Amino acid sequence: MTNIIASTALKARQLTEEEIHEIEHEKTHYPYAQAVGLEALKIVQKYQGWVSDESLLAVSEYLDIPPDDLEGVATFFNMIFRRPVGKNVILLCDSVACWMLGCDDLKAHITSTLGIDYGETTEDDMFTLIPVPCLGDCDKAPSMMVGRELYRNLTNEKIDQIIAGYKAKA
């Protein structure tokens, strides 16, 4: 039994049935339950939007991984969110090709439109803006992702349409 000590007042969140079901499915792919740590964090994030301390502790207890090990994994990967994010996460590419084709201007446009800088979330919790080093889409630069959708050959106008689209869906 791993030694999980009550040195923190935090209590683990109860994992949902869907989360447990998906984690159990992932476990079948690996020889050790401990190997599923990263996948389990992704599953939790899929359902909760981010990985709270309570969620991290829940995964830790469920898979018998010390929370410190899991935190190492969670913080190593940029796309595991350890702070709450908006409903739609905008990943704006700022690597070389996008930079040459004006991603800085696009960023300024998003910032002025939504009132958020990198790492910030709009007050209505609709959007979070995060830079990303490369989306592997350099031939269609500048590009960005919103949620799981990729948007390419961006201009300020296109961005306005995309944002309006997400706002309309809400």
Partner 1 sequence: MASITIDGKVFEVDVKNNLLQECLSHAMDLPYFCWHPSMGSVGSCRQCAVIEYANEEDEKGRLVMACMTEPREGARYSIAAASKFRAQAIESIMINHPHDCPVCEEGGECHLQDMTVMSGHTYRRYDGKKKTHNNQYLGPFINHEMNRCITCYRCVRYYKDYAGGTDFGPQASHDNTYFGRWQEGPLESEFSGNLVEVCPTGVFTDKPFSKHYSRKWDLQSSPSVCTGCSVGCNTNPGERYGTLRRIVNRFNDEVNGYFLCDKGRFGAEFVNSSERIPVNMMRDSHNAAPIQIEPDAAKEALKNAAKSAVGIGSPRASMEANFALRELVGEENFYAGIATEELDMLNKIIDIYQSKPVKIASVKDIESSDAVLILGEDLTNTAARLALGVRQSVKNLGRQMGADLNFPIWHDAAIRQLAMDKLSPLYILSPHTTRLDDIAHTTHISSAAHSAKIGMAIAHAIDSTAPDVAGLSKEEKALVNEIAESLKSAKQALIISGTSSLEPALLDAASNIATALQSGDDKANLALVSSESNSMGLALMMQGNAKSLEQAMSASSKTAIVLENDLYRRAPSADVDAFVNSLDNLLVLDHLKNRTGEQANLVLAAATFAESSGTFVNYEGRAQHYYSTFKSDSNIRSSALWLSDKHFNEITAACAVAIANCGAIAELTPGENYNFAGLKAPRQHHRYSGRTSMRANISVHEPKQEQDEDGVMVYSMEGVPAIKDAAVLNSPWAPGWNSNQSLFKFQEFAGGPLKQASNGQRLLSNNSAEKTWYEAGNSDDTSEGYKVFPLYHLFGSEELSAYTPAIQEKATSAYVSLSPEDAAKLGLQASDGVQVEHNGAVPFIVRESIQPGTVGVSVGLKGLNFQDMSAAVSLDKAADWKNPELWRAANIIVSDKRVEGAD
- The contact set with partner 1 (CB under 8 A) reads 1-3, 5-8, 10, 32, 53, 56, 66-72, 75-76
Nearer to partner 1, 15 or 65 (CB): 65
**CB crowding 40-66: b at 16 or more within 10 Å, else e:** bbbbbbeebbebbeebbbbbbebbebe
Nearer to partner 1, 7 or 28 (CB): 7
Nearer to partner 1, 36 or 114 (CB): 36
Shortest separation between residue 50's beta carbon and partner 1, angstroms:
16
Question: DSSP of 10-46, one letter per residue?
Answer: --PPPPPHHHHHHHHHHHTTSSSGGGGHHHHHHHHHH
Nearer to partner 1, 78 or 161 (CB): 78
| Distance (Å, whole) CA 12 – CA 79 | 22
Shortest separation between residue 75's beta carbon and partner 1, angstroms:
4
| Distance (Å, whole) CA 10 – CA 76 | 22
145 membership: H or E segment, kind and range: strand 144-146
Paired tokens of 112: 């002025």
Shortest separation between residue 80's beta carbon and partner 1, angstroms:
11
Shortest separation between residue 70's beta carbon and partner 1, angstroms:
8
